[in-house]
Structure 1
Amino acid sequence: MSRTTLASSLVCLLLSQAVADAEPLRVVTWGGTYQQSQENAYGAGFTAETGVALEWLEYRGGLAELRMQRDAGEVAWDVVDVLARDARIGCDEGLFLKLPDDLFPPEMDADLVIPRPNDCVGPNITWSWVTAYDARAYDGDAPDSLADFFDPERHPGPRAIAAFPQATLEMALVAEGVPAADVYDVLATEQGRDRAFSVLDRIAADLRFWSSGEEPVELLRSGDVAMTTAYNGRVAAAYLSGATEIRTIYDGQILDEEWFAVVAGTDREEAALAFLRHVARPEQQAAQARWIPYGPMRRSALDIIAANEPWFHTGGAVLPHIPSREDRIADALVLDPVFWAEHGPALSARFEEWRRTLGL
């Protein structure tokens, strides 16, 4: 069967399903403004095209709920937005459906800024861990590099970092000059870990910790900190929505990835596959960045944005805030979920002990 025939067959089948079966396709994601961006960019067009309604559900990540559904023989979800580690483990455990070879057009894989980790997932977004600062705190000599974040003598002021070690330790080593390609080899050694924590010690005198994505923006807006690490989409959205005192530094960003997967055992398999195919289109990838400034997975989506700026829904140009631009990903470190699966417990324990020594 050709790809065109397959796509047509899927649409026809879905249309007939929509008439015969009022049950919506259940798409599980992360809630908040991120989920709303997906509803706007992916959901409305998919339902208009296929007649299939979507039910958006929120979860907190991980695979525990999927394992329970599998073990009980009661699959309650159809499509899941998954982080890099869960995309790999879920596929290995058979929690996710192996996708048909011809589901996506043949040119898609070469168009991705990050390769698909396996045959269980379709493209969603990239996002990154960045540093951001309050421009009101710096008159003239504003920070412009990751190294500046860890240099409170040159750029004084209270800092904030995440309350967990992922990306934070990588940032510390990158700021020290460790090439992105070598960071995980260095961090796997005791000497490398000592080196990373010594960099964190430089900012420990006036440090706060954040746990949720909105906190860095709140800390900057309130003036409680002058600089912070953050999720790029949060600080960029704040800037594009009028908080122009919040500036993002993409130097040394730690790139992360999210994918869509179809839950094995779903009774809405054909609809779920059609949803993944819909989301993977460059037009839909670009549309998502209209609502939240995360990075499209497809380079061709970036071309669409560039040709149609200002693209953001508030009327601002969004491309300056996209982490997956070619000039930004060339030297970026991509977060390694395999490394964290192996070394995460030890590094988390040391990070917590370091926090305790600070009394924070």
Structure 2
Amino acid sequence: MKKILTLSTALTAVAFAAQADVTVMSWGGAYSQSQLEAYAKPYTAQTGVKVNMVDADNPATPVKAMVEASNVTVDVADVEYADAIRLCDEGMLETIDPAMLPAAPDGTPATEDFLPGALTDCAVSTIVFSTVFAYDTSKFPEGPKSIADFFDLEKFPGKRAMRKGAKANLEMALMADGVPAADVYATLETPEGLDRAFAMLDKIKKDTIWWEAGAQPPQLLADGEVAMTTAYNGRIFAAAVAENKPFQVVWDGQVLEYDLFVIPKGAPNLEEAKKFVAFATDTQRLADQAKWISYGPARKSSGPLVGLYQDGKTEMGPHMPTSAENLTNALPSSYEFWVDRDSELNERFNAWLAAN
């Protein structure tokens, strides 16, 4: 009997150890919901490991603070590309060996199946998203058609909303002022180019509300506080399709980026974090996320598996930022540019914002 009890106790201890929760920090709203449905629920169903989702306006900020304080409470975080590179360079993240990632269904290694640049030393991309602008069709039945229209208060009167920060705003401002997408970063690297971008922002500054969380832009539109807003494309899609809001995305001048999973240095459940990241970024899981939000999967093999929205009737392809017809005047965000200049340009942006 004693041996049986001892064995039972040991097995219980092993089972308890295997059930360590995984805590994932993401951006909240429709985006976190898509991750819950596509990644977290299936992971728990398959492994028995509970996945706790927590929200932040920008997970990179609390991740940096946690690591610096040696008090890390999350295992995985969803961050933007430039933040992933910078945090990795600063030693804030665990390295991720691409060999731990599953191959495509046809056996293609992950290193060849992910889109170009989607794998880094410390991060694995999940989605391609874009910053776009959108408007309320009840206010503008004919609607703006170009990024220049967003800055045209005479032709399209009404309040605007933009993310409170330099990234994407400066690029959109230059494209609105006629700079071809291919020349935007070369222009921003010059003092004259920066001045030109801020001069465009000056045109709408007094009529702009500044948002910080991804859930805010569709809410600002829904509440009638603004007539147009920049936003993450999936948030507008969710409001328009799932909630029947009269919102329309304008793809002209969109700024494309990856979002990536990282593991903070000192994550409390490191091995389980790695298993979760590998699971969540396999071909099927990335395709499944597109059932819940209109972000493109970061694996080539996931693309053909993208079909209908979870309503069972809306084709997701046309709503993807990577759809051919949506890429006419699109700009891939330059992480090289932002890794080097993020602090400097946000300081200038905040000073500009504070000035009369």
Match of 2:153 in 1: 152
Question: CA distance change for structure 1 residues 135 and 41 in 2, over 3 Å: closer, same or farther?
Answer: same
Distance 2:171 2:16 in 1: 51
Cα 1:142–1:192 change in 2 (3 A) is same
Higher alpha-carbon deviation: 326-335 or 169-178 = 326-335
The residue identity in structure 1 corresponding to 2:322 is S
Compute the displacement of 1:231 (Å).
Answer: 1.7
Alpha-carbon deviation of 1:233?
A: 1.6
Instruction: Specify which of 292, 309, 317 is matched with residue 319 of structure 1.
Output: 317
Note the residue ranges of structure 1 that are not aligned, 5 or more in a row.
Answer: 1-15
After TM superposition, the score normalised by the length of structure 2 is 0.83
CA distance in 2, matches of 1:268, 1:158: 46
> Structure 1 residue 287: deviation in Å?
1.4
Shift of residue 204 of structure 1?
A: 4.2
Q: Could you tell me how far apart the structure 2 residues matched to 1:314 and 1:119 are? A: 38
- 1:333 to 2:331 alignment: yes
Any idea what the Cα deviations from partners look like across 1:110-158, whole Å, max 9, x if unmatched? Answer: 443451352322222222111111111223x321221221233333333
Deviation for aligned residue 1:323: 1.6
User: Equivalent residue for 1:86?
Assistant: 83
Secondary structure at 1:235's aligned position in 2?
helix
Q: Is the 8 A contact 1:240 1:314 kept in 2?
A: no
Q: Is the 8 A contact 1:78 1:262 kept in 2?
A: yes
Displacement of 1:42: 0.3
Take 2:216 and 2:23, find their aligned partners in 1: how far apart are those partners? 29
Q: Does the residue aligned with 1:81 lie in a helix, a strand or coil?
A: strand
Q: Per-residue displacement from partner, 1:305-337 (whole Å, max 9, x unpaired)?
A: 2xx33x234743333222233554575322234
**TM-superposition CA deviations, 1:261-314 (whole Å, max 9, x none):** 234454644332221221122211121122222232123323212xx33x2347
Q: Mark the CA change 1:330 to 1:275 in structure 2 (over 3 Å): closer, same or farther.
A: farther
DSSP-derived class of the 1:312 partner: coil
CA offset at residue 103 of structure 1? 1.7
Q: Do the aligned partners of 1:160 and 1:208 also contact (CA within 8 Å) in 2? A: yes
- 134, 137, 156: which is aligned to 1:135? 137
Aligned ranges 1:118-267 → 2 under 5 Å? 118-139=120-141, 141-204=142-205, 206-266=207-267
**How does 1:291-302 map onto structure 2 within 5 Å?**
291-302=292-303
For 1:86-113, what per-residue CA distance to the aligned partner results, in whole angstroms no more than 9, with x for missing partners?
3112322333332234222244344434
Question: 2:127, 2:298 within 8 Å by CA — same for their partners in 1?
Answer: yes
The residue matched to 2:74 in structure 1 has which SS?
coil
* Partner Cα distance (1:17, 1:132) in 2: 52
Aligned counterpart, 2:25: 28
Structure 2 SS opposite 1:291: coil
Measured in 2, the distance between the counterparts of 1:87 and 1:225 equals: 32
Distance verdict in 2 for CA 1:260–1:212, change over 3 Å: closer
2:5 paired residue number: none
- Count residues in correspondence: 338
1:348 to 346, 349, 352: 346
Change (3 A) 1:94 1:190: closer
* Structure 1: distance between partners of 2:217 and 2:266: 39
- Could you tell me whether the CA contact under 8 Å between 2:74 and 2:268 is conserved in 1? no
Q: 1:329 to 1:271 in 2, by over 3 A?
A: farther
C-alpha change, 1:223 and 1:93, in structure 2 (3 Å) is closer
SS at match of 1:57: strand
Alignment partner, residue 9 of structure 2? none
In structure 2, distance between residues paired with 1:244 and 1:25 = 35
Structure 1 residues 228, 277: CA separation in 2 closer, same or farther (over 3 Å shift)?
same
Shift of 1:222: 3.0
Q: Could you tell me the TM-score, scaled by structure 1's length?
A: 0.82
Counterpart for residue 272 of structure 1: 273
Structure 2 distance, partners of 1:324, 1:18, is: 43
Q: What is the distance in 2 between the residues matched to 1:319 and 1:28?
A: 28
Q: Take 1:161 and 1:63, find their aligned partners in 2: how far apart are those partners? A: 20
Does the CA-based 8 Å contact 1:113-1:324 persist in structure 2? no
Share of identical aligned residues, percent? 37
Q: Secondary structure at the match of 1:77?
A: coil
Q: Could you tell me which runs of 5 or more consecutive residues in structure 2 were left unpaired when the two chains were aligned.
A: 1-12
CA distance in 2, matches of 1:159, 1:33: 22
Tell me the C-alpha RMSD between the 2 structures. 2.9
- 1:116 maps to 118
